A and B are shown apart, each in its own frame.
Chain A
Amino acid sequence: MSDGDFFHEGRVAELRKAFDQTFVFPPREQEGVYADLLAVDVGGDPYAVPLLGLSGLYSGCRIALVPGPVPELIGVAGIRGSAVPVYGLRQFLGYPDAAPSGWLVVSKESPRAGFSFDGFRAYARVAAADVVPSSEGGGARPYLCSAARIDGVAIPVLDVPILLDEIARKARAASNSK
């Protein structure tokens, strides 16, 4: 056995106790200012997506590839009865193209848009003080305007509204160029 800790005699009792205690104490409300983040994997690197700008997390989605005026557009996915355009975070973050994994986050603001990434890592709730502005806020990628410290590691935070603005700008630029 590779990990002998799982086989000590008190392991099952510990699991049982932790599960039982979940229902023993009353629900605790989060006190203070905090931010809910989704840690995702893009090109092997971790990125955080604020939960406030999202309407949902989905996996196993089928994406129909369609061309569009914005280069980061991959295709269209069906999300709960409506067609949502899907953009690739690889394309936004400068990673080489790859087949879509099926993981999507969908923006809350209308018009809704989906963003494809390579994998879901974890749900994280961090203090607001742990989210700090990034130096790239005014650069080529304005949607990476901040970074969050999760488990002691600082990872860049994608700002979904700025991504949507970037998409709208590129769409307008494309229509103007036509």
Chain B
Amino acid sequence: MGTLWFWLVAAMLVAYVVLDGFDLGVGLVYLFVARTEPERQQALRSIGPVWDGNEVWLLAAGGTLFFAFPLVYASSFSGFYLPLMIVLWLLILRGIGVELRGHSSDPLWRTFFDGLFSFSSALLAIFFGAALANVVRGVPIGQDNYFFLPLWTNWRTGPNPGILDWYTVLGGVIALVALGLHGALYLTLKTEGGLERRARSIASWLWPVLLLVTLIGLPATVIARPSSLHNYVNHPVAFLVPLVVLASLAAILVATRKRSGLLAFLGSSAYLAAMLGGAAAGLFPVLLPTVGTNGRDLTIALAAAGPHTLQVGLVWWTLGMILATMYFCIVYWLFRGKVPTQLDSYGH
């Protein structure tokens, strides 16, 4: 039962990164690709009806982690206190940036919120990448199953790591590039005109950068945490995951060449899902690994909530996910196709 919940939480996080990833990515490339006021409005309208729902995946995944693995929720949230607080502030600024920009037509007002939106999106991408890298690298868990990480120590992995070290910064960079590409491909798919053209061009030079950092990232993970290969060695079928990573990168390239926007976007979605899935496959059955010898890994067995909680949870979780998927289908269907350049509705 705990194993099932491990993969359900992982799947929710994948949904979060793939979905909110593209609107974060739009924020990343926004200032570069959307130059004129109508283009900026077009870019924002391409994520307007969906960004909030995408972000809900983070809350839903967090809530699910809380009830299915209370120990991991308690330990990791208090241990990653400082970066989480910064993430919260960035989420606040980003939400304000997207939604309040249109409330005044004053160019200064709009420039301020444009900056807020782009700045917070970029930092969030870096923080999310670094957060995942922290989980993969491991944290110094103590006897009491808790830890507390400073923002940085000596920038090295090892027994006394900080939130930021060479490996987690690399994780942040990978996330920045990957989400930037994801967002650019989304804009290519959803917009037209100069915006679409510039989004395509930025995607075409982000692609080789992503290939480069990914190729650095895979061996770096083995250096930062040698045991991350154990599951792969024991179950060689898992090596399919890095193959999917490379295949999806290839698919993005081919699809961009062929001007197939949808295929390219699906390619970058598959890339993100495979990167996260690969991390989860390397960790399983550990949710949060320890470094050093003090404490122990927080495993599924150690951290799972009581059996009755998990059983009952499965019933409503399934029902809730069916409903959520339906809502997403309705919204994305109503919102299908390119964003119209003229508004045809009451925009509040």
Q: Do A and B come from one complex?
A: no
